[in-house]
Chains A and B, each alone.
Chain A
Amino acid sequence: MNAHGQPHRPVGIVMIEDDEGHARLIEKNIRRAGINNPIRHFTDGGTALRHLFEDVDGPAKNGPALVLLDLNLPDMSGTDILTRIKAEDSPLRRAPVVVLTTTDDKVEIQRCYDLGCNVYITKPVNYESFAQAIRQLGLFLSVIQVPEVE
């Protein structure tokens, strides 16, 4: 039980990643890091947004969540989703967002932080360092406090 008297639920992880392979690799490495939180995977922005804001079991209606966000999505830019999540009137504005992308362009990274992204991870081709980063992210997830939705 927490302060609001609701039953404690594990923090859900919402992964928005259009590349199935990347998604699988990310999930594998998260699991390897010992994180067993449920992971919901979406391959496009529209469905992901609907889940985030409207689904009964989505984070907006039902409990805390962490978002893993890829910037290159087929139907919209990841930054659009980031803007929606971090908007002033968004119920999810305190939800941590981890941006995962192949871009290591400084301007784009800066822009993501400006929009309110909490962590930015580039997907290096060097797999070991990528796996390392994801595992560290897992450790990070295991210690952070994800706030309840208001």
Chain B
Amino acid sequence: MARAFDKVAVSEERFGRALVAFVALGFGLLIAAAVAVGWNTVRTSQHTERVAHTQMVRQAIADLQVDLEQSETARRGYLLTGKPLFLTAYRTTGGVIPGRYRLIRQLVEDNPAQIARLDRIVPLLQRLTVLRAKSIAFGEAGRLTAAQREFSGDASVPLMRAIRYRLRAMASGEAALLAVRTAQQANAARLFYIMAGLASVLLAIVATLTLTVVVRNTRALTASRDDLRRLAGSLEDRVTERTADLAMANEEIQRFAYIVSHDLRSPLVNVMGFTAELEAAAAPLGELVTRAEAEAPQILTEEARLAAREDLPEALGFIRTSTAKMDRLINAILQLSRQGRRTLAPEPLDLVALCDTVIGAIRHVIDDRGVTATVVRPMPTMIADRVAVEQILSNLVENATKYLHPGRPGTVTLSARKHLGRIVISVADNGRGIDPRDHQRIFDLFRRSGTQDQPGEGIGLAHVRALAYRMGGTISVESALGEGATFHLTLPQDQTV
């Protein structure tokens, strides 16, 4: 199931990645299209400019031609009639010819073919100008007949024809250029439309893809947000549920321990009671044996004597010590279960004072065993149940002074520090140490470690651990055989939180 989900997720991821790549590619193409369209626009405007330029050249050539023809017509009119009106017309139209020529030259500067053609017109124009000036000068001098003779003999007519031919050549050159440029312009326009069309299609595709990606992502986000919300909700529910379960299980255990310890006591009362009755009954029997021994030894068998003198008292003795031990064990369970039911009352604790109190309370034991106890100052403050912390430390210190190394006087050091927002209280000794294999066991009820040369039921550390757990803390031990032991009690700094 999980694997199937993974597969779906992987393929979805791949698809998503491909989509994003496509969108990125689309945007790239769009940018390229925009650049191309821009470039094309620039080119189109260049083409338009050129076309306009050609038109200007054509216009200038036509103007020059018109002025030439008009001035020629005016000159001829003047030479034929001698009327000053023609002279004025000749001067007006003839006067602009150099300007017209200069404009054309300027316009076709970049066109070597046209310049060459123009250069061929220049000498013709010069010769024409000289001829014209000569004939007009005759006319002005009042010698019209001489002027007419001069005109009929001069080369102005073929000159005009040559100039006309050359100018027409220039005009047709420009016309050819215009055709080329107009075609170019049209091409550019067509290209522009194609590009714009392509760009629009591309834009539509990219927009669709982008929208798809956005919608997909939004959907995925919404789905995962819903999932998260649902998960968070169910997690809270589960935590509450588990906490309730734990509290119930804990309560169950407490009740169980309580009931067991009580119900175990009941038969024990009988065992103890009837053992006492047995002892009471054994006493007269013993007296009887003594009397029989003295008065009628023949009726006393060795078996009866042994039974009354040794077997019976020995059996009773074992029953007594066993029941006494069982009573202590049951009391220990009872005490643990009581401890579990006690309400903890967290309060601000001065750990130094608390440690001093703990040591003071068992001072006589510590002194009897020749142990030096040290409290390392300063210690952090904390908020916890005073009785519980005292009981834990009291047990740990008592243990530290109990299991000494035979070769050296005992020392116990209590210290405390803050670590990761928790308080770690350490009780270190230089005693005989604990085998690492027993580091877990020693916290179990009725379990002990090492040589059993000290009194005890194996209850203290179980009690310590139960208390530590109840306060939301932990207890651990660091030790090696022969090298002392250090117990670390880790508790929340503020138990009320």
Contact = CB atoms under 8 A, between A and B. Distances in A.
B60 to A, nearest CB: 125
B307 interface: no
A71 to B, nearest CB: 10
Contacts of A126: 272, 327
A21 B278 CA distance: 14
Interface residues of A, number: 16
B277 interface: yes
Interface in A109-140: 123-128, 130-131
A88 B133 CA distance: 162
Contacts of A76: none
B269 A130 contact: yes
A31 interface: no
Contacts of A77: none
B269 A102 contact: yes
Interface string A3-38: 000000000000000010110010010000000000
Most B C-beta atoms less than 10 A away, residue of A19, A25, A103, A125: A125
A22 B262 contact: no
A72 B266 contact: yes
Contacts of B275: 127
A127 B316 CA distance: 14
Contact of A102 (B262, B277, B323): B262
B268 interface: yes
A127 B272 CA distance: 6
A123 B262 CA distance: 11
A127 B273 contact: yes
A72 B264 CA distance: 13
Contact of B273 (A25, A72, A102, A103): A25
Given A102-B262, A103-B262, A21 B274 contact: yes
Interface in B292-329: 323, 327
A128 B276 CA distance: 8
Contacts of A127: 269, 272-273, 275-276
B266 A25 contact: no
Contacts, number: 48
B270 interface: yes
Contact of B269 (A28, A103, A123, A128): A123
B277 A28 contact: yes
A28 to B, nearest CB: 7
B270 A130 contact: no
Contacts of B132: none
A15 to B, nearest CB: 15
Contacts of A72: 262-263, 266
Contacts of A125: 265, 268-269, 272, 323, 327
A22 B323 contact: no
Contacts of B270: 19, 21-22, 25
A18 to B, nearest CB: 9
B276 A22 contact: no
A77 B273 CA distance: 24
Nearest to A123: B269
A28 B277 CA distance: 10
Interface string B105-129: 0000000000000000000000000
Contacts of B327: 125-126
Contacts of B274: 21, 25
Interface string A43-75: 000000000000000000000000000001000
A19 B273 CA distance: 13
Nearest to A29: B273
A128 B265 CA distance: 16
20 contacts: A19-B267, A21-B270, A21-B274, A22-B270, A25-B273, A25-B277, A72-B266, A102-B265, A102-B266, A103-B262, A123-B265, A123-B269, A125-B268, A125-B272, A126-B272, A126-B327, A127-B272, A127-B275, A128-B276, A130-B269
Interface of B: 262-263, 265-270, 272-277, 323, 327
Given A21-B269, A123-B269, 4 more contacts: A28-B277, A126-B272, A130-B269, A130-B273
